[in-house]
Chains A and B, each alone.
Chain A
Amino acid sequence: MAEYNITDTVDITDVVCPVTFVKAKVALEELDEGEILSIRMNDGEPVRNVPRSIKEEGHQILKLIDNQDGTYNLIVRKTEEE
């Protein structure tokens, strides 16, 4: 993850759909345009759906890192839609 200058991190492994995406979205809203968020999420449903929802909001997915412990870190660059 050293290749990215991460501004903030959020852990959504403690919640279930749709709060997973909501928590990530709230964290992204706190950032400025161009800043980078790292989102830690569980394998399975979150990793299938959260990246897609974030992409639909117009943000840029930079990387999905497999932590090899059943969780992933999704690296996202905030992109303002308006």
Chain B
Amino acid sequence: MALSNEQIERYSRHIILKEVGAKGQKKLLNAKVLIIGAGGLGAPAAMYLAAAGVGTIGIVDADEVDLSNLQRQIIHSTQDVGKAKVQSAKETINALNPDVTVHTYREFVDSSNIMELIEPYDFIIDGTDNFPAKFLINDACVLAKKPFSHAGIIRFQGQLMTYVPGQGPCYRCVFENPPPKDSVPTCKQAGVIGAMGGVIGSLQAMEAIKYLIGKGELLTGSLLTYDALTMTFRKIKLPKHVANCAVCGDHPTILEPIDYEQAECDGLCLTD
């Protein structure tokens, strides 16, 4: 359980920090984070969590690496095109930090597998690119009492919020239901600036790290939005408790995960 000399050197810039120390670093090494989606958000999030020494990282994605992914999904390289994203991500993480055990799940999340997937993990990162998955992850995390980071990116915009059981609203408290199909452009149609995934995905990693070491304030009860063109961050205060939320309200009607009809999306979507 003591840190090795190599670990002391590798994590020296963490250990120096008063808020981390050897104690916090050991918490990270013992922590388990599940990243759903190894794309624009999941790629940087996974890399920073791996570099930070999060001991167990799970990655869920059914897709293969496509050439058009490489403009933003920095965990994959040109030579990985055609390879399963989870495999490509695992190889990158293994090369980066041998302290990390990577579990890969080559599947899409749905109501049949989500509860089982999140069960062993301490924190979940939603790096998905479509609304059905985002609502599914939210509902599952609320039902299983798991903390998670929501995020979405499109064009030059991004947003994120953090859910911790009992400490503020969930994603459904804020957005209620997925938008009607075809009412919102996908990133394949709308485009997304590559570095946006880096900004927002890194913020997700930061939220996970702060939660795991138990330091600082999280984005619970707030939605952070980022507009790169106007260079504006806005922290929008959310209601503490939404009594009529279908999943975390006073009389929930959603008692198990549900599947919405999937709108195909290649990037990450949110209303803009």
Contacts and interface: CB of A to CB of B under 8 A. Distances in A.
A26 B5 CA distance: 10
B189 interface: no
Interface string B1-37: 0110000110011011010011100000000000000
B171 to A, nearest CB: 33
Contact of B21 (A15, A19, A23, A29): A29
A25 B2 contact: no
Given A57-B18, A81-B18, A29 B23 contact: yes
A37 B78 CA distance: 51
Contacts of A57: 18
Interface in A1-49: 15, 18-19, 21-23, 25-26, 29-30
Nearest to B12: A22
B9 A25 contact: no
Contacts of B18: 57, 81
Given A29-B21, A29-B22, A29-B23, A22 B15 contact: yes
Given A25-B16, A25-B21, A26-B22, A19 B2 contact: no
Q: SS class of chain B's interface: helix, strand, loop or mixed?
A: helix
Given A57-B18, A81-B18, A22 B8 contact: yes
Nearest to A14: B5
A30 B2 CA distance: 9
Q: Is the interface of A mostly helix, strand, loop or mixed?
A: helix
Contacts of B9: 15, 19, 22
Contacts of B21: 25, 29
A44 to B, nearest CB: 19
Contact of B12 (A18, A30, A81): A18
A19 B3 CA distance: 13
Nearest to B23: A29
A23 B22 contact: no
A18 B16 contact: yes
Contacts of B12: 18-19, 22
Nearest to B11: A22
Interface of A: 15, 18-19, 21-23, 25-26, 29-30, 57, 81
Given A19-B12, A30-B2, 10 more contacts: A15-B9, A19-B8, A19-B9, A21-B16, A22-B9, A22-B15, A25-B21, A29-B21, A29-B22, A81-B18
22 contacts: A18-B12, A18-B13, A18-B16, A19-B8, A19-B9, A19-B12, A21-B16, A22-B8, A22-B9, A22-B16, A23-B8, A25-B15, A25-B21, A25-B22, A26-B3, A26-B8, A26-B22, A29-B22, A29-B23, A30-B2, A57-B18, A81-B18
